[in-house]
Amino acid sequence: MASDMTPGPQTAVPQEKEASRRGRLGLTLSWDSVPWWGVIILLVGVIVGYSTLTNSRYLDAMYFIFDLPWNREALSRGDVGPNGDWTLTIQIPLEPGSYSMFAQYLNETNDPIGRSSTLDVKVPADAPAAPLDQPIQMAAETIEVKTSTPSFSGTSDEAARVILYDDFSGDPWRIVKRMVLSRGVFLTIRVTLISFAGALILGLLFGLMRIAAPSPDLREGALRRLLFGLIPIALGLWLIPSTRAMPTLAYLILGSAVVMFLIPALPYTISTLYVELIRGIPMLVIVLYMGFAITPAIRNASSGWGLGEIDLRGLPAAIIGLSFGYGAYLAEVYRAGIQSIPRGQLEAARSLGMSYFQAMRHVILPQAIRIILPPLGNDFIAMLKDSSLISVIALPEILQQGRLWISRNFRAFEGYNSVAMLYLVMTLMLSLLVRVIERRSAIGE
C-alpha cells in the first residue's frame, strides 16, 4: 500500500502545448500577455499608417522628402509661353554618354498633365559647353549633339510649366547611385553613419586617454624626454640661422621643453578638457559654430597657402560637427566600459609578456565593447534624431525637406506629421536592431 501511495513522477508538459503558449510564430512573449495599451498603440498605428498612405497630401510630402523619383533627374525647368511654345537650355554641362530625355508638362497648380515623346540624345566625349544655333525639337528619335549644353523646344497649349527630365530607368547602377546620393531620408542616413563612425574613432581615442594616469610623476624619464625634444631645436637652428629670429627660436626651445616635460600628463588633461568642454555645449551650437565660424575661417586661412581653398561647407561641416560633438559622449562610454573590466585581467596579460597596447587590443577592449553595445546603440539612435540639426546649415535632410515642402504647399500639419513619422519609424527599426545585436552578443550564464 505504501508503494501505491508514493507519488509518481510529474507528467511533463507536451512540447506542442508549450509551443502553442508562446504563439503561432514562436515568439518569446505570448499574445495573451500583451498589455491593453500595447493593443491600443498597435491599432492606432495601423489606422494612422493606413490614413497616411491613402491621403494624397501625405503621399506628396513623402514623395518630396524621399526625393523621388530615383529613376530620372530634372535637367532644366521653365514656363510655357503665351502661344504654347517653350525652350529649355541645360545649364550644367552633360557628361559624355547617352541620355533618354522627355518633357513633363504641368498646369498652374504644378500637377502633371502630360509629357512629350522620348528623345535619345548622345553627347560625344569632346563636346564643348556652347549653346546651339537652333534648339532641338522633342521627337521620338535618336540624335547626336555637338555640345554638352544643348537646348530643347516644344509646344503645349494646356501646360503652364515644363520640366526636362533625363530618364535612366534601364540603368540599375545609375538608379542605385541616384538613390544613395538623394536628399531627404538617404542624406540623413548617410550623415548619421559617417558621423557615428567618426565619433566612434574619436571616442575610442579620447576614452583611452581618459583612463591614463591623472597625475603621473613628471620626474620619471624627464631627462630622456628633454633630450628627445632637442630635435625641433636642432631643426630651428638649421632653418632659422639668422640672429633676427633668435626670439622665435627662444620661444621654440622653451615651448618644446615645457611640452616634453609635461607630456605624461597631457593625455588625461587634453581628453578631460575635451569631454567636459564639448559635453557642456549644446549640439546645435556646435553645428552652427562648425558651419558658420570654423568653416569660413579655414577657407580664408587656406586661400593664402597656394594649394587651393579648403572648403568644408555643407556635408563635411555637418559630419565634422556631429562627430566632434558625439565623440565626447562616446569617450565617456568607452572609459566606463574599459574601467568596468577588473584590473587584474590587465595585470595578468602584462605578466604573460603582452605590451600595454596588446593587452588592450586582445583582452580588455573585446570585453569592454560587449558591455558598451547598449549605450552605443542608444547614442546611434540619438545621433539619428540629432541629425535634424544640420538643417540650420541648409542641408536638405528630412526636416529641411519637410520645411521646403511646407513652404511650397502651406500645409504644416501634413508636412511635420510626415517628418515625425519618418523619424519614428527609423528609430523604432534601429531600436529593434540594437536589441537583436544585444541578444546575439550577450554572454550566457
Rounded CA gap, 86 and 162, in Å? 8
> Which pLDDT value is given to residue 264?
76
> Which pLDDT value is given to residue 241?
59
**Of the candidates 299, 294, 322, which has an alpha carbon nearest to the alpha carbon of residue 397?**
322
User: Does the bond joining 172 to the residue before it have cis omega, within 30 degrees of 0?
Assistant: no
> Which pLDDT value is given to residue 328?
95
> Which pLDDT value is given to residue 33?
64
CA distances to 2, 41, 213, 262, 268 from 223, rounded to whole Å, are 90, 69, 20, 12, 21
Report residue 355 as a C-alpha cell. 605590451
Rounded CA gap, 369 and 365, in Å? 6
Contact criterion met (CB below 8 Å) for 415 and 406 = yes
pLDDT of 213-231, one tens digit each? 776 767 676 677 666 766 6
Domain boundaries, the chain: 73-170, 185-441
> Which pLDDT value is given to residue 23?
46
> Which pLDDT value is given to residue 428?
86
Domain 185-441, CATH class in plain words: mainly alpha
> Which pLDDT value is given to residue 108?
86
DSSP letters for 71-120: SEEEEEEEEPPTTSEEEEE--SPPPSEEEEEEEEEE-TTS-EEEE---EE
Q: Which residues of the chain are modeled with pLDDT < 50?
A: 1-14, 17-27, 445
Contact criterion met (CB below 8 Å) for 150 and 134 = no
Report residue 231 CA to chain centroid gap.
42
Query: How many C-beta neighbours within 10 Å does residue 67 have?
Result: 18
